[in-house]
Amino acid sequence: MITFDHVSKRYDDGTLAVDDLSLECATGEITVLVGSSGCGKTTSLRMINRLVEPTSGTVSIDGTDVRSSDPARLRRMIGYVIQQGGLFPHRTVIENIATVPRLLGTPRPQARQRAQELMDLVGLPSSMAKRYPYQLSGGQQQRVGVARALAADPPLLLMDEPFSAVDPVVRKELQQELLNLQSQLGKTIVFVTHDIDEAVRLGDRIAVMQVGGKLVQFDTPERVLARPANAFVESFLGLDRGIKWLSFFPAKELPLRLPATIGPASGPVDVHRVAAAAASEWVLAVDGDRRPLGWLEAAALNGASSGTVDLGSLRSIGHAFSPATDSLRAALDALVLSPAGLAVGVDSGGALVGVANQDDINNAIQTAAADS
């Protein structure tokens, strides 16, 4: 456990970077420090490994003041990942990852073997072992940075905006990779970001800080979204905080019904359809495995004279959601994007299991709000 006990940091020019910070980062959890630039989140993080010394107060790890430890030794026992990896440009991937074990006296063969294992763990092929950082993409460099931080198997991992320099698609992949790693390793992680979406996705608890280094709310992502502590937190969360909040409620309780369907379809869609289709405004075309292909207005079927309707006339379903694993947020998004006003639910194989309408989702949201 990492504990901040009335910690402040004031620089020589009078700038107050952190103001009386008290919080506990629980063992085995991801604690996210979030806020706009200048709020003291990075300064707070760096006080844990003594890259910054507090002006007052105490930072302790499992009850021991970090100032009682030699700074160099302390840093070797804490994983540290920064923006753009911070890799040694003159060392190969495997040499970068093996750096800390070698500093701690691990023989070279064992250190390299550990580095190979970590490359596999973070999703880097062994063929990259002899490459240099400049030969890697931004996302690959960040994976190397995470592997290097884990190389000595530290109980603590500090991450300072590690994914902010990569594109949104890679960033999402790296976030998921971190969650996968955490489910396996159970590290105590302190993660700094200015992105509230990233904080909500990754954090077990979120510490919201404002300019001047003041902690204004510390709670679970769900409670921060549902009950912001003040106007600053509410503004920082943005106008779509209600949509973000829905990501914490599963869609598995949604009542689903089977829509009117036509198919199986391969090429032109056979308009020989179930009787219910005639009374429906929209009909869902499916293939032979009951995977949704798209929506078709029933009027288009009634007007078809050739007995077939070309696949090009189908309207996209937008996207489907998985009732078993997705949230109400995913179901609502599927509803909004659907031309039929129906969210399409599928199983793990992509086969249709049913649809939900606006009333179904509204009722589920109201139930979730009442129970929270």
Count up the domains in the chain and report the number: 2
For residues 240 and 202, state if they share a domain: yes
Question: Is residue 88 assigned to a domain?
Answer: yes
Q: What CATH number corresponds to the domain at position 345?
A: 3.10.580.10
Neighbour-count burial of 170, counting CB atoms closer than 10 A to its CB (0-12 exposed, 13-18 middle, 19+ buried)? middle
For residues 124 and 165, state if they share a domain: yes
For residues 47 and 190, state if they share a domain: yes
Any idea what DSSP says for residue 198?
H
What's the domain range around 20?
2-248
| CA atoms within a 13 Å half-sphere pointing along the CA-CB vector of 64 | 8
pTM, full prediction: 0.82
| CA atoms within a 13 Å half-sphere pointing along the CA-CB vector of 102 | 13
Question: Is residue 59 assigned to a domain?
Answer: yes
Boundary-marking domain end, from 216, 248, 280: 248
Residue 277 has what pLDDT? 43
Any idea what DSSP says for residue 40?
S
Q: Give yes or no for a contact between 117 and 48, defined as CB atoms under 8 angstroms apart.
A: no
Neighbour-count burial of 133, counting CB atoms closer than 10 A to its CB (0-12 exposed, 13-18 middle, 19+ buried)? buried
Any idea what DSSP says for residue 39?
S
Question: Is residue 326 assigned to a domain?
Answer: yes
Boundary-marking domain end, from 226, 248, 270: 248
The series of mean pLDDT values per 10 residues for the chain, 372 residues long, is: 95 92 95 92 95 95 92 88 82 89 86 88 88 88 87 89 84 89 92 93 96 94 93 91 91 88 54 42 84 81 52 83 95 94 93 92 88 70
C-alpha separations of 5 from 19, 31, 52, 342 in Å: 11, 16, 16, 51
Question: Is residue 253 assigned to a domain?
Answer: no
Question: Is residue 14 assigned to a domain?
Answer: yes
| CA atoms within a 13 Å half-sphere pointing along the CA-CB vector of 128 | 22
For residues 226 and 322, state if they share a domain: no
For residues 367 and 265, state if they share a domain: yes
For residues 116 and 147, state if they share a domain: yes
Boundary-marking domain end, from 248, 272, 298: 248
Question: Is residue 255 assigned to a domain?
Answer: no
For residues 97 and 212, state if they share a domain: yes
Q: What is the 3-state secondary structure (H, E, C) of 268-329?
A: CEECCCCHHHHHCCEEEEECCCCCEEEEEEHHHHHCCCCCEECHHHCECCCCCECCCCCEHH
Instruction: Compute CA 68 distance to the chain's CA centroid, rounded to the nearest angstrom.
Output: 35
Residue 8 has what pLDDT? 95
C-alpha separations of 42 from 83, 158, 161, 204 in Å: 12, 10, 9, 19
For residues 316 and 231, state if they share a domain: no
Q: How far apart are CA 372 and CA 366, in angstroms?
A: 10
Q: What CATH number corresponds to the domain at position 34?
A: 3.40.50.300
For residues 26 and 78, state if they share a domain: yes
For residues 132 and 110, state if they share a domain: yes
Question: Is residue 254 assigned to a domain?
Answer: no
For residues 41 and 129, state if they share a domain: yes
* Joined tokens for residue 185: 């390793």
Give the number of residues written for the chain: 372
For residues 45 and 70, state if they share a domain: yes
Question: Is residue 337 assigned to a domain?
Answer: yes
